[in-house]
Amino acid sequence: MARKCDPVTTEVIRNQVQSIVEEMAIALMKSAYSTNIKERRDLSAAVFDARGRTVVQGEHLPLHLGSMLGLVEHIRNRYPEDRICPGDIFISNDPYRGGGSHLPDVAMAAPVFREGRLVLFVGNIAHHADIGGASPGSMAGNMTEVYQEGLRLPPIKIFERGSLIEDVFELILLNVRVPEERRGDYAAQFASLRLGVRRTLELYEKWGEQTIAAALDEILDATERHVRRSIARLPDGEYLFEDFMDDDGFGNQDIPIRVKIAVQGEEIVFDFTGSAPQVKGNINISWSGLQATVAYALKCLVGPDIPSNEGFYRPVRIVAPHGTIVNCAAPGATAGRAQTCQRVVDVIIGALAPALPERAIGASNGSNTSATFYGRNPANGEYYVYIETYGGGSGGRAFKDGKDGVQVHITNTSNLPIEGLETEYPLFVEDYSLVPDSCGSGKYRGGLGLRRDVRILGHTCDFSSQGDRFRRRPWGIFGGGPGRTGRMILRQGQPDQVELPSKTSGVEIRPGEVIRIQTPGAGGYGPARERDPELVRKDLREGKISPERARADYGVSVD
């Protein structure tokens, strides 16, 4: 009979493993070369048991769970246990054969051995500013199949018995832009894993193998029990919602995302039947990306304090026909999958809002608005790749306004401070501000979108972008108004300017020209006429809304 672990010891061990995961993530961030990892923290870390079950996942970036869910399972399927050795490190990014969700997210895992036995895996993931392919940054909106998006890596060894496999590493670096920066980021991932191996072995020295094995099983079982209790508090029944993607960048517009959620007792089913077939553009989601997104949305609605691990999925079933935009088939392009993942969150919240009005929010900016700048720095003659994803409004809540200018839902990365941007790249930020009137009205208004104007200094650069909610506005909830859509504008002089589509590639920006990135706002919560007039006046004083909006939406006259 398997040994049980008492609740106090289990919780102590869980928190110690959580601290190891957080230390691994901090080590990766502090050691990385690229601004996308060291400043924007587009990374995560996790610990898996020997069978590949996720035991503890970093809470920082929910979508990265999708790139790690099947990582160890794919490694175990590819390598028998007698070929997994101490000192090995595995690398993978493939959405179809490696458990990933898009190619720039490169995941790594290292086995942990104790007294000759495989006991754990530690893993991390980082979004690399370039993984090769047709467009700098590997995120442009013009790619139609995974082969164009960059170098695909099935789970393979990059270290064997503690030694770097130089041929594999050289192959990877030869296929990416700015290879020295990539080398530094990969080295940071290697170091983070070595730290994780060291820390987990220290944990085994303290508690012993049997106690930790029992505790890991109990952590997963406790998470399952917690999820089941939370689901049981929902009223039984079916909940439906539909929303639409703007487009895929190739003329396919108003692309439906549909969900039917069935709650019965302690179990829940998310059925995405009726969502669009996969599209030509790269906004398709792989199966692992869908799993992570559903888990995030359910966790927000029924149990924000529930740990993220394999036990979460036991009472949850997902139905998504293969070959659809939410469960695409190879070689579908997935680089912009975060745009669609945001919409999946919106439809789940919209569906369950009647059952959870106190937890539901208006539609947030519903996008992962990203921009990539690529060029040669005139100061040193070296090429650079600068990629950033920008925040926007978050939806109005049952008790409070939505937040302004933040990353929402499954992304949760930081912004790149202006000082860091202008130090690293030949770019100048002319304006970084909130967009007035971009919020949806309501008893509690939605959050405002962001504006960033970037001037190109002394060189011509290649610009590409990804975004959504540039046509279809983020909806309000329970009578709240919709937020404003995003915009992308190339300013070539006064008054010359060109409005760009949300999904672009290879736009040439010459010295002195300015690109304006303006992100969507968010929907409000509740009827606008129920808003406290003092809150309206406060928004007026802070420049968040105009006098016209105050009068038209809220009936507040302005002196």
**Calpha distance 467→501 (Å, rounded):** 9
Longest alpha-carbon distance in the chain: 79
CA 402 vs. chain centroid, Å, equals 19
pLDDT of residue 66: 60
pLDDT of residue 274: 97
Residue range 230-283, pLDDT digits in tens: 999 999 999 999 999 999 999 999 999 999 999 999 999 999 999 999 999 999
pLDDT of residue 3: 65
Residue range 342-388, pLDDT digits in tens: 999 999 999 999 999 999 999 999 888 999 999 999 999 999 999 99
By DSSP bridging, strand 461-466 and strand 514-518 are unpaired
For helices 166-174 and 179-207, give the axis angle rounded to 10 degrees.
140
Residue range 429-468, pLDDT digits in tens: 999 999 999 999 999 999 999 999 999 999 999 999 999 9
Closest CA to 334 of 29, 46, 58, 97: 97
Contact 130, 177 (CB under 8 A): yes
55-to-20, 51, 123, 222, 546 alpha-carbon distances in Å: 12, 11, 11, 11, 49
Q: Helix, strand or coil for residue 210?
A: helix
Give residue 413's pLDDT band: very low, low, confident or very high (50, 70, 90): confident
For helices 337-352 and 287-302, give the axis angle rounded to 10 degrees.
40
Report which residue type is found at 489.
I
**Calpha distance 173→274 (Å, rounded):** 41
| Token duo for residue 536 | 């309206």
Q: Which residues of 230-254 are buried (b: 16+ CB within 10 A; e: fewer)?
A: bbbebeeeebebebbbbbbbeebee
**Calpha distance 25→46 (Å, rounded):** 9
pLDDT of residue 1: 42
Q: Helix, strand or coil for residue 371?
A: strand
Give the mean pLDDT of 18-47.
94
Give the mean pLDDT of 159-164.
98
Contact 556, 550 (CB under 8 A): yes
How do the domains of the chain map onto residue ranges? 7-224, 361-527
Query: What H or E segment, with its residue span, contains residue 308?
Result: none
Give the mean pLDDT of 471-477.
97
Q: Is the pLDDT of residue 311 over 80?
A: yes
Q: What is the mean pLDDT of the chain?
A: 94
Residue range 486-525, pLDDT digits in tens: 999 998 876 778 999 999 999 999 999 999 999 999 999 9
pLDDT of residue 90: 97
Q: Residues 193, 153, 108, CA angle at the centre, nearest 5°?
A: 10
**Calpha distance 323→259 (Å, rounded):** 16
